[in-house]
Amino acid sequence: MNVPVEKSKKPAMSLEKAAKARRKFLQSVGLVGGVVGLSLLGYIPVLNASPHRLRPPGALNESDFLSSCIKCGQCVQVCPVQAIKLGDIDDGFGLGVPYIDPREQACDFSCDAVQCILACPTGSLTYKKPPSLNIREGALLAEAPILKAKENDPEPTLNLKERIGIARLAQPSACLAVQGKGFKGQARGAGFDGKMRYMDVDRWKPIPIAEHPYDLPLCDLCVRECPVKGAIELRQLKSADGSTRMMPVVLEPCVGCGVCEMVCPSEPAAIVIDAQATWKGELT
Amino acid sequence: MSRFTDLFMGMLGAAPKKPAVVSEKVQKIMFLKYEDKDRYIKEKMHARDHHLVSHKWRNRRWAVLLAVNLLFVFSFWLDIQILEGALTASRFVGFHLIDLNSALQVMLAHKHIIVNLFIGTFTVFLIWVLLGGRTFCSWVCPYHLLAEWAEALHIKLVGKKLITDHEFHRGTRTVFWLLFALLAIVTGYTVFETLSPTGILSRALIYGPSLALGWVGLLLVFEIVYSRRAWCRYVCPIGLTYGAVGTLSPLRVSFHVEHCFHEGDCRKVCLVPHVLDVTVKGRASEESMSLGPDCTRCGLCVDVCPTGALRYEVKGLSQLL
């Protein structure tokens, strides 16, 4: 009696087993599809990135930068003014990739050596780009930038070949110099955390900008605090009505460090960095 | 050689095989074990009664895992500069260390390798060859620790019949490994890093919390309510990369059939129970067998085994001593 019962049971069991295996397979396919689909959502912020992030000095071109960066944050750790932050998940594939928000904290090169480049283990930040990676037109600096802070040193230049962006007077009407106004007090108010190296205070210890108030008959903060020699100047311009006014003009040596944007006392900043922009000639 | 291949295939997702040949010695052991059933049961109960429930290896492991991750944190916060960077890449007192899977993703996506990247990757490769490959998972990865806690909750809920566990095919992880490698090559982005809870958690610990932690939270919820240890078991390519490295490693957990009562407590606590297939009655072919490369050397089985049939072993060292 036992034998037929077992026989009739057996195919039923294996059918159930087959159905289970099938379900498991489909669920596994679903898991693969789901996770890979989610990971590809990382494309959206990358494709929609406008404006681009300002990357640390020595960064490769954006797509090379995203692919070569190993997301370890060693650049973050060596920066003396903590200018470098890491992208979050809303940056998609830029998650964990370093960037600079210059209005909050610009790179003032107070490390002198561009230590973030030195710290990078994968060559995402590099002193010298390998020839296989393309250098965009206008990204290459005409000459090695001279650091004003090191101007009297035997080696006054910064080891940097390409700019990371370019400053632009975005709102001339908001610029105090254009308005002919001076500036007195803390550049960004008492509550601002941003730091900068002041050579007359301490060459090796950046201090909060709030601790270094100014008293200027005509505001020239962007020109005065620009760390690179000859990157920006105040120029006298004649208006159509014959009156003259002063205006900051960005010049070719500008590397896009963002100090001008950080110190600009207008709210929002009259001068801003166009991240990853290239030099296309003087804008007047 | 064929057992080596079988174990590797097992890591990729193949079902464990029954041994074709069982050595005479093991046959004799098994015969003696079951010769007298009453004695066997008595011995088993005796071993159970005298088993001191210990979390020795788990506690040691958690201590190491926390120490490594805190060393990263304090190196930055307190500026002691011993271990700078995050788990994906770092410098230990100046020496480059680079996570093997992250390095692989970067190399495939960027298709250009600089010297430091190579040095760091090779150093880490050597370290984990010595230390056991997937040892990285259970002794270092911060997600592993959270997932262990989530797992405990999951098991509790399953016990109360509030939820049921859903298993996926283990081969899924191999598919993921291949897909993420392919995606890196094709897209030119390190796609996996966007999802990797290991990288996200490591950076969050060191550089402060991020929105990305929400994704890690979702993963944990998924593992609690739907599928036990799903990320580590079925998805994470880091585990497979380190597992491949572990095939060469002398550090492993070994199984001694003579002491085993084939009760299966070890398989119940294991992240990768297929490596413990040898503990099933009739599956061991040799007196002493090391577990496959997928074993994370976490030691949960060593802790739970009432008879000491599972032990840590450094191959070659026992012969030397």
Of residues A51 and B266, more confidence is placed in: B266
Kindly identify which residue of chain A lies nearest to residue B97, measuring between CA atoms: A121
**Cβ within 8 Å of B, A 8-27:** 24-25, 27
In Å, how far is A7's CA from the nearest CA of chain B? Answer: 25
- pLDDT for A134: 84
Tens digit of pLDDT for each residue in B190-231? 999 999 999 999 999 999 999 999 999 999 999 999 999 999
Of residues A50 and A64, more confidence is placed in: A64
- pLDDT for A62: 92
Provide the pLDDT confidence category of residue A2 given band limits of 50, 70 and 90: very low
- pLDDT for A196: 96
- What integer is the mean pLDDT of A91-98? 94
In terms of domains, do B79 and B192 share one? yes
Residue B318 has pLDDT above 80, yes or no: no
- pLDDT for A279: 92
Of residues B20 and B57, more confidence is placed in: B57
Query: Of the candidates B193, B226, B244, which is a domain's last residue?
Result: B244
Q: Which of A64, A90, A121 sits opposite B110 (nearest CB)?
A: A64
Tens digit of pLDDT for each residue in B74-112? 999 998 889 999 999 999 998 999 999 999 999 999 988
Provide the pLDDT confidence category of residue A242 given band limits of 50, 70 and 90: confident
SS3 percent helix, strand, coil of chain B, rounded to 5, is 60, 10, 30
Chain B residues near residue A67 by CB distance under 8 angstroms: 106, 109-110, 184, 188-190
Chain B residues near residue A25 by CB distance under 8 angstroms: 169
- What integer is the mean pLDDT of A70-89? 95
Looking at chain A, the whole-number percentage of residues with pLDDT higher than 70 is 94
In terms of domains, do B166 and B303 share one? no
In Å, how far is A91's CA from the nearest CA of chain B? Answer: 9
Q: Do A72 and B234 touch (CB under 8 A)?
A: no
Q: Which two tokens stand for residue A204?
A: 């090796």
In terms of domains, do B172 and B201 share one? yes
- Tell whether B90 lies on the interface with A, counting CB pairs under 8 A: yes
Residue A1 has pLDDT above 90, yes or no: no
Domain ranges of chain A: 62-129+136-275
- pLDDT for A241: 79
Residue A8 has pLDDT above 60, yes or no: no
Kindly identify which residue of chain A lies nearest to residue B190, measuring between CA atoms: A67
In terms of domains, do B122 and B265 share one? no
Q: Do A67 and B110 touch (CB under 8 A)?
A: yes
In terms of domains, do B89 and B212 share one? yes
Query: Of the candidates B196, B222, B244, which is a domain's last residue?
Result: B244
In terms of domains, do B191 and B70 share one? yes
- pLDDT for B316: 80
- Tell whether B204 lies on the interface with A, counting CB pairs under 8 A: no
Kindly identify which residue of chain B lies nearest to residue A118, measuring between CA atoms: B116
- pLDDT for B140: 96
In terms of domains, do B151 and B204 share one? yes
Tens digit of pLDDT for each residue in B123-137? 999 999 999 999 999
Provide the pLDDT confidence category of residue B51 given band limits of 50, 70 and 90: confident
Check if the beta carbon of residue B67 is closer than 8 Å to that of residue B78.
no
Query: Of the candidates B214, B244, B274, which is a domain's last residue?
Result: B244
Stretch among A21-35, A185-199, A238-252, B62-76 having the lowest mean pLDDT: A238-252
Domain that holds residue B291: 2-50+250-320
In Å, how far is A87's CA from the nearest CA of chain B? Answer: 9
In terms of domains, do B23 and B132 share one? no
- pLDDT for B154: 97
Kindly identify which residue of chain A lies nearest to residue B86, measuring between CA atoms: A72
In terms of domains, do B82 and B146 share one? yes
Tens digit of pLDDT for each residue in A9-30? 555 668 888 898 899 999 999 9
In terms of domains, do B13 and B108 share one? no
- pLDDT for B36: 83
Tens digit of pLDDT for each residue in A39-54? 999 888 888 877 789 9
For chain B, the domain total comes to 2
- pLDDT for B112: 85
- pLDDT for B70: 96
Looking at chain B, the whole-number percentage of residues with pLDDT higher than 70 is 98
Tens digit of pLDDT for each residue in B128-179? 999 999 999 999 999 999 999 999 999 999 999 999 999 999 999 999 999 9
- pLDDT for A105: 97
d(CA A107, CA A4): 83
Q: Do B203 and A86 touch (CB under 8 A)?
A: yes
Identity of the residue numbered A75: C
In terms of domains, do B128 and B207 share one? yes
Here the contacts of B274-281 (C-beta below 8 Å, separation 24 or greater) are: B274/B10, B274/B15, B274/B16, B274/B170, B275/B7, B275/B10, B276/B301, B277/B10, B277/B16, B279/B255, B279/B309, B279/B310, B281/B30
Closest CA to A121 of B110, B211, B129: B110
Q: Tally A–B CB contacts below 8 A.
A: 150
In terms of domains, do B35 and B73 share one? no
Q: Which two tokens stand for residue B267?
A: 């398989």
Interface pTM, i.e. ipTM = 0.90
Q: Do A67 and B102 touch (CB under 8 A)?
A: no
d(CA A100, CA A275): 9
- What integer is the mean pLDDT of B248-263? 92
